[in-house]
C-alpha cells in the first residue's frame, strides 16, 4: 500500500521508469530511462484513469529520458549511453524534435545532432530551447540557446561555458574529466539559472542572447560531496526579497568517503542582490542524516514550474515530499507520499504539478503516480 500524509493517491500507472514527466494540456509526456523505450504520451483528461496513447521507441546505445512540449512541438534528448553500440549503429547524440499537434500521433520533424554524448536536460518556452549539449572542442556539456521558430531548422543563438571547458580555444580545466558541466538551464525573464554539476550554479544575463554573461556563481562542492542538479528561481517575491532553490543530487560524490553521514538536501538562497547569492536555509527529510546511506537516498528534483509556496519535490528513496517555503528562512515539510513499488526501493526521479493542482510523480525504475493535496 502507498504511504500518504497530506495527499491522496488518485491513480498509479504501470509504465517503464523515466527521467522526466511534462504535462501540457490533457497529456503527460514521459521520457524513459532505457532503450528501446523512448517517450510515452499519456492521456490524463481523466486523472483516475490515465491511458498510454502513443509510444516512441529508440535504438540501443542511447537513451531519451527527458521530454518537453511547447506550441505543439515536443523535444526529447538523445544522450549516448554506450558509445561503441551508438557508433556501430550510426547514432549521434542531440535532440529529437516531433510534431505533437495530435499528441496521439507524434511525427518526427527532424533530429538535431551535436556529437559527444549529446544533450542531457533542457527547458523550453514558446520560442527557444535552453539546452546542455556536448560540443566538439569542449570538455563536458555547455549552455546553448536554440531558436525553435522553425522546428525543422533549429538555429543556435548563443552559448556559454565555464572558463576551462574550451580546450580547443586553449583553455585548461582545473578539475578532473567532466566534473564541471552544464546540467540544465532554466529561464526567468532575461536570466538563465544554470546548474553546473560539481561546478555549482551560475546566474547568466541573457538580455543579449547572442552573448550570455555571468552575473554570479556559487559552489559548495567541495566541501559538500554531491553535484548541483537544479537551480530553480521562485517566480515571485517573498517579503520583498527574491529567492532561488538549489537541489543537489544524491549521486556522483566527489569523494566516496566525504561526509558519509550525509545525503544530499535542498538549499534556499536569497538573490535579492543577484551578484551575491546567499544561502539562508536548508532542508532534509527527517531521519536521513546521521548514518551512511546508499546513493539515491537523498534529494533529486523539485518542480520547476512553481505555482505557490508549497513545493512538490522528488526525493529519490523518500518519494514525494511537499515543502512549505512561505518562510524561506525556515522551510518545512507539510506532506509526503511513498508509492507502492512491490517491495523494491522507491526511486522518485521527477515531479510535475499541472494547472489543476495534480502532482505527477515519476519513478526511475517503474511507475507514474498521480496524487492530489488534501
**In the structure, what pLDDT confidence band is assigned to residue 174 with cuts at 50, 70 and 90?**
very high
Average pLDDT over residues 54-58: 97
**For the segment 94-129, what is each residue's pLDDT rounded down to a tens digit?**
999 999 999 999 999 999 999 889 999 999 999 999
Instruction: List, in sequence order, every residue forming a beta bridge with 142; answer none if it has no partner.
Output: none
Whether 63 has a pLDDT exceeding 90, the answer reads yes
pLDDT digits 0-9 by tens, 272-317: 999 999 999 999 999 999 889 999 999 999 999 999 999 999 999 9
Whether pLDDT at 146 is above 90: yes
Question: Which residues are bridge partners to 112 per DSSP?
Answer: 95
Q: What pLDDT, in 10s, does the model give residues 236-253?
A: 999 999 999 999 999 999
Domains of the chain: 3-17+126-373 (2.130.10.10)
Say which residue the cell 517579503 belongs to. 239
Beta-sheet pairing, 266-270 with 213-218:
unpaired
What the block records as the C-alpha cell of 109 is: 520533424
Q: Which pLDDT does position 196 carry in this prediction?
A: 98
The span from the CA of 65 to the CA of 80, in Å, is: 11
Does the pLDDT of residue 256 top 90, yes or no? Answer: no
Amino acid at each position: 500500500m502507498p504511504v500518504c500524509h497530506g495527499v491522496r493517491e488518485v491513480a498509479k500507472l504501470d509504465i517503464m521508469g523515466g527521467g522526466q514527466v511534462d504535462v501540457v494540456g490533457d497529456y503527460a509526456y514521459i521520457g524513459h530511462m532505457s532503450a528501446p523505450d523512448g517517450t510515452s504520451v499519456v492521456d490524463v483528461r481523466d486523472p483516475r484513469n490515465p491511458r498510454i496513447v502513443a509510444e516512441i521507441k529508440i535504438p540501443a546505445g542511447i537513451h531519451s529520458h527527458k521530454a518537453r512540449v511547447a506550441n505543439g512541438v515536443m523535444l526529447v534528448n538523445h544522450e549516448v549511453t554506450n558509445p561503441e553500440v551508438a557508433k556501430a549503429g550510426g547514432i549521434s547524440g542531440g535532440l529529437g524534435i516531433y510534431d505533437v499537434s495530435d499528441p496521439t500521433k507524434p511525427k518526427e520533424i527532424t533530429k538535431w545532432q551535436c556529437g559527444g554524448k549529446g544533450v542531457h536536460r533542457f527547458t523550453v518556452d514558446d520560442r527557444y530551447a535552453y539546452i546542455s549539449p556536448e560540443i566538439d572542442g569542449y570538455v563536458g556539456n555547455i549552455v546553448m540557446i536554440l531558436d525553435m521558430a522553425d522546428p525543422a531548422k533549429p538555429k543556435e543563438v548563443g552559448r556559454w561555458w565555464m572558463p576551462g571547458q574550451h580546450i580547443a580555444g586553449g583553455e585548461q580545466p582545473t578539475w578532473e574529466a567532466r566534473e564541471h558541466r552544464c546540467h540544465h538551464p532554466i529561464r526567468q525573464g532575461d536570466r538563465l539559472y544554470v546548474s553546473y554539476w560539481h561546478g555549482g550554479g551560475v546566474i547568466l544575463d541573457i538580455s543579449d542572447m547572442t552573448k550570455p554573461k555571468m552575473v554570479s556563481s556559487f559552489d559548495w562542492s567541495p566541501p559538500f560531496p554531491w553535484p548541483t542538479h537544479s537551480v530553480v528561481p521562485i517566480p515571485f517575491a517573498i517579503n520583498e526579497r527574491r529567492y532561488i532553490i538549489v537541489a543537489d543530487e544524491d549521486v556522483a560524490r566527489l569523494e566516496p568517503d566525504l561526509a558519509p553521514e550525509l545525503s544530499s538536501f535542498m538549499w534556499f538562497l536569497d538573490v535579492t542582490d543577484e551578484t551575491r547569492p546567499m544561502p539562508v536555509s536548508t532542508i532534509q527529510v527527517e531521519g536521513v542524516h546521521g548514518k551512511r546511506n546508499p546513493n539515491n537516498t537523498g534529494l533529486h528534483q523539485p518542480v520547476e514550474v512553481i505555482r505557490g509556496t508549497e513545493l512538490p519535490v522528488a526525493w529519490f528513496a523518500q518519494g514525494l515530499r511537499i515543502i512549505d517555503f512561505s518562510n524561506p528562512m525556515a522551510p518545512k515539510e507539510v506532506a509526503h507520499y511513498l508509492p507502492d513499488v512491490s517491495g523494491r526501493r522507491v526511486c522518485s526521479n521527477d515531479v510535475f504539478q499541472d494547472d489543476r493542482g495534480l502532482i505527477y510523480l515519476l519513478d526511475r525504475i517503474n511507475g507514474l503516480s498521480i496524487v492530489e493535496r488534501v
